[in-house]
Each structure stands twice: as C-alpha cells, then as structure tokens.
Amino acid sequence: MHWSRWGDPAEAGPLPENAFALVDAFIGTTDTPAVASAEVRLSEPLDADLVAELAALVGEDHVLTDHETRLHRTRGKSTPDLLRLRAGDGSDSPDAVVRPGSHEEVLAVIDWCVAKHVALVPFGGGTSVVGGLAAQRDGFAGVVSLDLIRFDQLLEVDRTSMTAVLEPGLRGPQAEALLAAEGLTLGHFPQSFEYASIGGFAVTRSSGQSSAGYGRFDSLVVGLKVATPQGTLELGSSPANAAGPDLRELVMGSEGTLGVVTAVRVRVRPVPEVKVYDAWRWASFADGATAMRTLAQAGMLPTVLRLSDENETAINLAKPSEVGGESAGGCLMITGYEGTPAAVEAKQAAVTKLLSDLGGTRTEGGEAWAQGRFHGPYLRDSLLDVGVLVETLETVTFWSNLDHVYSRVKEALVGALGEATLVLCHISHVYETGASLYFTVATKGSDDPLNQWLAAKAAASDAMVGNGASITHHHAVGRDHKPWLAQEIGPVGVEILRAVKEKMDPTGVLNPGVLIP
C-alpha cells in the first residue's frame, strides 16, 4: 500500500469534481499536502551486529533496514496514523523488518527477541486502525517488524469436513483465489479485504460485509497454530468440545501480544453460483433497524444486510445539485444473496415479502453498492488532501439500546467537533440480540487535526462505554481503545489479561503497549 494513504497508489487521486464541490460548499477545503516520503523521520536502523544475527536465523535477504521498507511497516491506516506520517513523523517505525519463512524461523526470531529484549510486532496487511502496529519502544533495545509476507500458501483442503488451512500472510484476494481454484470460498469480505491478511483477520476478530450469511471471522476459525515465547501452541482438534475453556478464543483478538499465528484452519463453502443484490428504501433509520431485527430474529438473514442512516444515504446517493431534495430522503438498505440459483431465489422471495410487509420500498442501487464497496477508504485520503478531517469508529450493542447509543455517540461527536460536523452511520453486522453501529465523521480540520480528532474520539468512546455499548465490534483494541477496554471488562478482567500476558510473554516483547491495559 501507499505509505501515507490507503491502498494502491494507482487508485489515489484528487476528489472528483462533483464531490469537491459538495464538500467545499458544506465543510470548506484547504490544500493540505503530505511531505515527501524521504522527509519522514524514522527511528535509527537496528545495529549492524544485531542485523547479522537475525540474518543468520532467516537469511540475509529477509532482514531489511532501508528507509522505504521500514516506512511501509510504520503504523497502520487510522487517520491519526496517517496524519502523523503526512506531517513527517515516523517515530514509531520498526528498526528492522524481518521476514521469516517457516514456523520454526518465527520461533527462532521470538527467542532472539527475548534474549536481546527487542520488541517484536507481527505484521500482516498493515490495515490496523486502532494503533495496533505502534509498539511501545521505551525500555527495549529496538523494535522489529515481523513481516509474514512469505507465509502465503494454502496448506490443506479437507473437502469432507469443508475446512482449509491457510497461512497468515495471505491477503484476502490471494486466499480467495487459492480457494476458488478448489471451487471454494471463505466468504470474508471486510472493507480492508484487498490488503488485510488471514492472520490479521484472526487476531483482531474481523467481521466482513457478508457476516449476516457467513459469520464473523472468529466464527470461521476452527484451528490455529501459534509460535509463542513458551513454544508452539496448536489448537482445534475438533469442531467443538467440552475440554475446558476454548483456548482458540484466547488467541483470536490477541493482536500479536501472546504469540504469532503461523497457520489458520477455517471453515469453507462452495463458491456461490449466483450473487444478487437489492436495495430498499425506508422512511427512517429506526424503521430500517426494526426490519433488520425482524429478519434476524425470524432466522431469515440474507448473506449481506446493511442499512445507512439518513445522512449516509443522502451523501452516498445525492448529486451536488440535488442535496436537500427528494433523492436525499429516507434510508437505504442493501440486501445480498449468494448460493445456488434455487436457494437465492427462495431466500430473496422470503426476505422481499417480509420487508415489503414491514413498509420497505424496493429501489435501485444494490448492484452499484456491490461494485464500489472497497473504494470508500480512498475518499478519506482525498479529503485529507483538502484539509477535511475524516475518520470512522464503530461499536455494538443490544437492540433495546441501539437507538440510545446511536444518539449519544452522534451528540458526543458534534459536541467535540462543532455544529459544522457531518456524522454518517450504518448498520452492517446484525444478530438476533443486537447490531453494530459504524460511524463516519467529517469536519473541517483545525491547525492541529491530530489532537482535534483524539479529543472527539475520546468523547465518542466515553459515550459508547458509558451507555452500555462495546468499545469495538471489529476494529479491535490496539493502543487507542485500551482505556475503554479496561472500563468494559472491569478490574478482574484486566487482571486476567495481564496474567495471561505475563505467563505467555514474561519479558513483554510481543507487541508491547497493545491491547493489555
């Protein structure tokens, strides 16, 4: 990916003319370019003697200390991450990038880091938006990025059990291509799909846009192989059991703080023969949410189910000449169906009847959403270029609390950033008992946009946890969410996490500063 933007540099560009006119009219713009990559100030490279020792473990070609490689492994892709890099601050860069090629080499690098007291940060796709790749440097002899790019194989397919073993460095498209050659799919398509990795999906409890039909990534994982400072941990000898607490749950969501995942066994399905997407219009966000709840509790969820609130619907559908007009009214819902022609036809007919009976109106836009669903992050970079501060944040709560949390978080964001702030929201992950809320925020950047956003993020996070919601549904904890994680799980929960960390990683070299309060 681009070092200071999202995704493929070839896809980066200025705001389209119509979008620029809309943003300029409602928020205002200021040209705000990033520094050149060569001007970003990185940490000092790892000492040559230490580099030589690492090279003896993984091969000379697989230990890199050049500016460009280290820059591309600096932080993740949150707006604070990018603001720091765009301003030339690369102080969280690794001192070396190490690329092991086997489980045994990962164990050797971990042992070396323990012996030398060097912090180790596992690196998959680099898509963290919660500070999950910015290790604490103080007290360590250096920081090494453990780049899993060479772990890129489909190791096993069990067609009888419908499982596959994937290596953690596989990006989403790579994994799907390898499975497709076998007539299979994982079906996990988060917005970060094009760049995020299989290992990253597992250790952050990722959730994809087809979660209504396929489930969250943690529900797809049936086995894990993990390299730790205490040796190898292999989990998942059966699809389910009663052999004590499920230790797979300990690894999933651990964000590289307890060990390094080197193989993931996942549930797979046949590649769907048909994919169909519909769009629905609802009079209000509350009406659309009620319809989603009804589908979930009736056991009638389609593969994809997503609802935009009034603001997000207006921005996504309206042309500049139509803002405030009829096109900006109501709320847009997307339903998607995948499978055999017969299964898709039956599910689509049942969902269509239920939604129609509840007052929804079928409209156009389903296929257009499907075609453009991975382009959103590029827009954020184009807005940062013109001085518009843009970021996302998400939460999850029970249905009975959903509207309350939705209102409180919006109020907190506008209160922190000012009335000229645009807050959009959608629901894209639903359960029988509740749903996620995913907010997008845009406002005019101040002279200090980093602290401007951090204050707003804190206010929104206080509103989430203070009103009975979780600090995160699928973005994970990283460094950014730690204070609110401690509130959410309480002092006993914090002590449990700390005790596990101390036992698994007694010298604290694995991604220090991340997750553990």
Q: Do residues 118 and 94 lie in contact, with contact meaning Cβ atoms separated by under 8 Å?
A: no
Name the token pair of 367.
């296929």
Q: Please say if the pLDDT value at position 368 is more than 90.
A: no
Residue 5 confidence (pLDDT): 93
Share of the chain above pLDDT 90, in %: 88
Q: Please say if the pLDDT value at position 442 is more than 60.
A: yes
pLDDT tens, position by position, 400-438: 999 999 999 999 999 999 998 999 999 999 999 999 999
Average pLDDT, rounded, for the chain: 94
pLDDT tens, position by position, 131-175: 999 999 999 999 999 999 999 999 999 999 999 999 999 999 999
- Angle at CA of residue 453, ends 448 and 457, nearest 5°: 155
pLDDT tens, position by position, 448-481: 999 999 999 999 999 999 999 999 999 999 999 9
Residue 508 pLDDT grade (very low, low, confident, very high; cuts 50, 70, 90): very high
**Domains of the chain, first to last:** 9-147 (3.30.43.10), 154-270 (3.30.465.10), 274-466 (3.40.462.40)
Q: Do residues 393 and 471 lie in contact, with contact meaning Cβ atoms separated by under 8 Å?
A: no
Residue 232 half-sphere exposure, CB side, CA atoms within 13 Å?
12
Largest CA distance in the chain: 71
Q: Do residues 498 and 238 lie in contact, with contact meaning Cβ atoms separated by under 8 Å?
A: no
Q: Please say if the pLDDT value at position 52 is more than 80.
A: yes
Distance CA 406, CA 426 (A): 10
Distance CA 359, CA 318 (A): 23
Residue 321 confidence (pLDDT): 38
Name the token pair of 2.
């681009």
Average pLDDT score over residue span 35-61: 97
Residue 317 confidence (pLDDT): 57
Residue 327 confidence (pLDDT): 47
Query: What global pTM score does this model have?
Result: 0.95
Residue 470 confidence (pLDDT): 98
Residue 28 confidence (pLDDT): 85
Residue 23 confidence (pLDDT): 82
Position with higher pLDDT, 484 vs 373: 484
Q: Do residues 258 and 504 lie in contact, with contact meaning Cβ atoms separated by under 8 Å?
A: yes
Residue 315 pLDDT grade (very low, low, confident, very high; cuts 50, 70, 90): confident
Q: Please say if the pLDDT value at position 264 is more than 50.
A: yes
Name the token pair of 102.
């086997």
pLDDT tens, position by position, 472-505: 999 999 999 999 999 999 999 999 999 999 999 9
CA distances (Å), origin 68, targets 90, 91, 249, 314, 466: 11, 14, 36, 40, 42
Using only C-alpha atoms, what is the Rg of the chain? 23
Residue 503 half-sphere exposure, CB side, CA atoms within 13 Å?
7
Distance CA 402, CA 307 (A): 13
